[in-house]
């Protein structure tokens, strides 16, 4: 069951890069800014998996999808809820097909499918953050109006209060600008995220410029995984009493991904 991104993480799906992430024929088409170092990327991903496992979460590691360099970023392909998972439809053409791949995985571990985003709607998982009774949905360059409408209908039927946030094109996904870091606590970038959209929640505000990012993993119990280059955010989180595990994930930043992009959270308790 996953009702809140800030609860204790207990089950995730990840995808260790072995081949596909390193052989994009047209990096720009796949939104990859620079080719990653294979040995270092695998090492960094293994460290991430180990840290999550050490915390007590089950880590399900699946093979990459052939011809899909971005399949390492499992977060975007589905949304798990207490009722089951919603199959999404990715907003980048070269990523479409990853949704079916992830659906097969979730089906195989007993997660029921309770909805599907259909064309012309698009929704990326990085644009959805569930925080207890509230579901934040980003309207972005990857998640369109039709996708927002379809997803909102599913989430409203599950008794979520849906709060839609329109993002500037400079922010790829909502999880760049905000993330739950506790059951009632939100890390967010002032500016792109209006403060009134966070009513009823404890907030930690950070600037939203340069490498600063709210893209973090909440392990639960006030512990987080944060990219080590995200220095200002680490400083702010520690000042607010949170325990930070800073990991070097530089090879995934080359694919415009942060820690949260690399996990599909299936269950939190």
User: What pLDDT score does 184 carry?
Assistant: 93
pTM for the full predicted model: 0.96
Average pLDDT, integer, range 65-90:
97
For 75, residues 6+ apart whose C-beta sits below 8 A from its C-beta are: 125, 126, 175, 260, 261, 262, 263, 264, 265
The pLDDT, as a whole number, for residue 1 is 73
Residue 258 falls within a domain, yes or no? yes
Q: How many CB atoms are located within 10 Å of the residue 157 CB? A: 11
Tell whether 91 is covered by a domain. Answer: yes
* Parent domain of 125: 9-268
Q: How many structural domains does the chain have?
A: 1
Statement: residue 142 has pLDDT above 80: yes
CATH number of the domain that 194 lies in? 3.75.10.10
Cα separation, 60 vs 13, whole angstroms: 5
Would 193 be classed as within a structural domain? yes
Over 80: is that where the pLDDT of 211 sits?
no
In a domain, 41, yes or no: yes
Asked if residue 2 is part of any domain, the answer here is no
Judge contact between 229 and 247, C-beta under 8 A. no
In a domain, 213, yes or no: yes
pLDDT in tens, 158-201: 999 999 999 999 999 999 999 999 999 999 998 889 888 999 99
End-to-end CA distance of the chain: 7
> What does the pLDDT look like over 213-246, one tens digit per residue?
999 999 999 999 999 999 999 999 999 999 999 9
Instruction: Tell me the average pLDDT of the chain.
Output: 96
Residue 126 within a domain: yes
Q: Examine residue 55 and state whether it is found in any structural domain, yes or no.
A: yes
Give CA–CA dist 29/245, Å, rounded. Answer: 33
Q: What is the largest CA-CA distance in the chain?
A: 47
């Amino acid at each position: 069951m996953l009702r809140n991104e800030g609860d204790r993480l207990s089950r995730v799906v990840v995808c260790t890069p072995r081949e596909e992430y390193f052989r994009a024929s047209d990096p720009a088409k796949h939104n990859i800014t620079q080719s990653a170092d294979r040995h270092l990327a695998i090492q960094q991903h293994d460290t991430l998996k180990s840290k999550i496992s050490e915390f007590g979460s089950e880590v399900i590691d699946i093979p990459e999808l052939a011809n899909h360099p971005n399949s390492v970023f499992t977060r975007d392909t589905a949304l798990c809820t207490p009722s089951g998972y919603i199959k999404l439809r990715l907003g980048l053409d070269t990523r479409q097909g990853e949704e079916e791949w992830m659906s097969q995985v979730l089906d195989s571990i007993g997660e029921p499918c309770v909805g599907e985003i259909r064309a012309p709607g698009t929704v990326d998982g990085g644009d959805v953050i569930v925080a207890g009774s509230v579901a934040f949905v980003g309207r972005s360059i990857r998640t369109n109006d039709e996708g927002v409408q379809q997803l909102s209908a599913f989430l409203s039927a599950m008794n979520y209060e849906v709060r839609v946030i329109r993002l500037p094109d400079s922010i790829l996904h909502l999880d760049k600008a905000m993330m739950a870091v506790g059951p009632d606590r939100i890390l967010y970038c002032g500016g792109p995220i209006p403060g009134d959209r966070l009513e009823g929640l404890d907030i930690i505000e950070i600037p939203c410029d340069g490498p600063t990012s709210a893209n973090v993993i909440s392990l639960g119990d006030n512990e987080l995984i944060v990219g080590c280059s995200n220095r200002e955010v680490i400083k702010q989180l520690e000042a607010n009493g949170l325990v930070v595990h800073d990991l070097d994930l530089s090879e995934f930043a080359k694919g415009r991904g942060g820690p949260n992009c690399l996990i599909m959270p299936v269950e939190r308790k």
